[in-house]
Structure formats: structure tokens, C-alpha cells
């Protein structure tokens, strides 16, 4: 994706956050396979977690990586999958972290380095008007396959992450991953480069929103999302006006058609 696509990504996420300011939806039931971590702003046990009190968006960003991804190379400063500051999809001018950190509508409340071995940075943003929370995870560029596997696990409700905002009493513990209302993948379409051995089926009755912003995502992600039971809100196609078509579709009942 280009710099223009990066700008489009952040604009779409901002609009969706505004739409997420409605009545909170209780999170899905706890998964027995929920993750754990000693990091205070990472994953915690979820056996007795309370439901979310606000809308939750979980964004998985596979950092742009000239070396480890089958992409048309971008300038080196933008395509280093280990560099948070200059990466096209994260620290560059229109990267996810940069855009939301500068936005007047969002406040960065937590910024954690290396919350897991595959995620270089996790940022938690709070929407000042609607109250929604957005967790943005920057996956190492070489770990794009793991990012996509996690995306499908989240979209199907098979993996739930409970994140403590570092004990900040002003903000609740956040049930993310499969407990989020909206799950987003941003980056290169790794399914053009590799085939996943299996795709998870929907675990519960909750139908999560899903956005996939990468090249020709509808062609590659449609079948796995159908199995996951997720509702595709926005994805990309090969047609010249694919973005316009997707946005028009989101206003119709047919927006969830695969």
C-alpha cells in the first residue's frame, strides 16, 4: 500500500471509532485458552474478567518490511520491519500510531514496548468524545504470518486478550482480541505469500466487525472470515473503485455478504 493508502486507513479508523460510541456491548465469554503475561500492560488471566464498559477496537499492524514480505520495495526508511519510528504503517507521518497520537479526538494512555515476543509496541488510545478504546499492536515485519493468524483467532472469538492499562484507575481493564467489537488488520496481504494450514471457526454467537486493509483482501480473506462468523465492514478488491464500492456496501444490508 502507498502513502495515500495509509492516509485512507487512518481516516477510516477515525470514522469507525465515532460509529463505535454507542451503547457498550458486553464482551464474549472468557476463553479457557486466553493468554497470560507478566507485563502489566499486556495479557492477563481472563477467567473472571468483567465485561467491557465501552466499545473496543483492536488493530493489528504488520510493519512494512522490504526483506521479509513479498512487497514492491518502498524506501528503506519506510520498509524496515524492526523500526517503529520510520515504518510506513506505524511511525511515519500517516502511520497508525503517528496519526492517532496527533489526533485531537484521541488520547494515548498507554505505550508499551515489547508486550510480546512478536509485537514491538502496543499503544492504547481512548476516544475523548465517544469513550471507545483502541488497542494498536505493531507486529514485527517478519511476523506477518503470526499477525494474520491472530487476526483470524480474534475475528472468530477463539482468542481473548485482557489488557490492564497499567493500573490506571481512570481506565478499565480492557477485554480485547476476540472480545473486541471491531478487529482490524493493516499491512501487506501475506496470504499472497503463504497458505495457512487451517482457519478457525466461530467460537460463540458474537459477530465481530472486521476490516482488512491490504492489497486485494476480499479475494483472500473472504472464505476465512465467513468461517470465523465475522462481519466484513471494509476490505479491498482489485477494481479501480474498490474503496468506493466497499463504502457504498457498508450502507446496505448486503455489507456482510462475502
DSSP sequence for 33-102: T----SSTTSEE--TTPPPPSS-EEEEEEE---TTTS-S----TTT--TT-TTT-TTTTSTTSHHHHHHH
**Phi (first) and psi of residue 100, to 5 degrees:** -75, -30
C-alpha cell at 154: 480474534
Q: Is residue 192 part of a domain?
A: yes
Whether 124 maps to a domain, the answer reads yes
Average pLDDT over residues 50-61: 92
Structure confidence by residue, pLDDT tens digits, 93-110: 989 999 999 988 899 999
Phi, psi of 98 (to 5 degrees): -60, -45
Q: What is the DSSP letter of 25?
A: -
Residue 257 within a domain? no
Separation CA 128–CA 140 (nearest Å): 29
Does 256 map to a domain?
A: no
Q: Given the C-alpha cell 493493516, which residue does it identify? A: 186
Residue 197 pLDDT > 70:
yes
| Tens digits of residue pLDDT in 19-45 | 444 434 443 333 333 333 334 344 444
Whether residue 242 has pLDDT greater than 80: no
Give how many domains the chain has, as a whole number.
1
Domain that holds residue 42: 3-251
Q: Is there a domain that residue 115 lies in?
A: yes
Looking at the domain assignment, is residue 74 inside a domain?
yes
Q: What is the pLDDT of residue 50?
A: 82
pTM, entire model = 0.79
Amino acid at each position: 500500500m502507498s502513502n495515500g493508502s495509509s492516509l485512507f486507513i487512518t481516516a477510516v479508523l477515525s470514522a469507525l471509532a465515532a460509529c463505535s460510541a454507542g451503547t457498550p456491548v458486553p464482551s464474549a465469554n472468557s476463553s479457557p485458552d486466553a493468554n497470560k503475561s507478566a507485563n502489566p500492560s499486556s495479557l492477563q488471566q481472563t477467567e473472571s474478567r468483567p465485561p467491557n464498559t465501552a466499545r473496543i477496537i483492536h488493530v493489528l499492524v504488520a510493519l512494512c518490511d522490504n526483506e521479509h514480505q513479498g512487497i514492491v520495495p518502498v524506501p528503506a526508511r519506510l520498509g524496515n520491519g524492526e523500526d517503529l519510528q520510520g515504518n510506513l504503517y506505524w511511525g511515519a507521518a500517516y502511520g497508525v500510531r503517528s496519526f492517532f497520537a496527533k489526533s485531537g479526538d484521541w488520547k494515548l494512555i498507554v505505550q508499551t514496548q515489547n508486550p510480546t515476543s512478536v509485537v514491538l509496541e502496543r499503544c492504547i488510545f481512548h476516544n475523548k468524545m465517544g469513550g471507545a478504546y483502541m488497542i494498536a499492536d505493531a507486529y514485527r515485519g517478519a511476523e506477518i504470518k503470526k499477525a494474520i493468524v491472530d487476526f483470524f483467532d480474534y475475528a472468530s472469538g477463539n482468542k481473548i486478550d485482557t489488557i490492564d492499562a497499567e493500573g490506571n484507575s481512570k481506565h478499565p481493564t480492557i477485554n480485547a482480541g476476540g472480545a473486541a467489537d471491531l478487529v482490524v488488520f493493516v499491512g501487506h496481504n501475506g496470504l499472497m505469500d503463504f497458505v495457512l494450514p487451517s482457519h478457525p471457526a466461530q467460537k460463540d454467537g458474537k459477530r465481530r466487525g472486521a476490516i482488512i486493509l491490504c492489497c486485494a483482501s476480499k479475494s483472500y480473506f473472504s472464505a476465512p472470515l465467513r468461517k470465523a462468523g465475522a462481519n466484513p465492514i471494509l476490505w479491498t478488491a482489485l477494481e479501480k473503485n474498490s474503496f468506493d464500492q466497499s463504502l457504498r456496501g457498508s450502507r446496505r444490508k448486503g455489507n456482510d455478504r462475502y
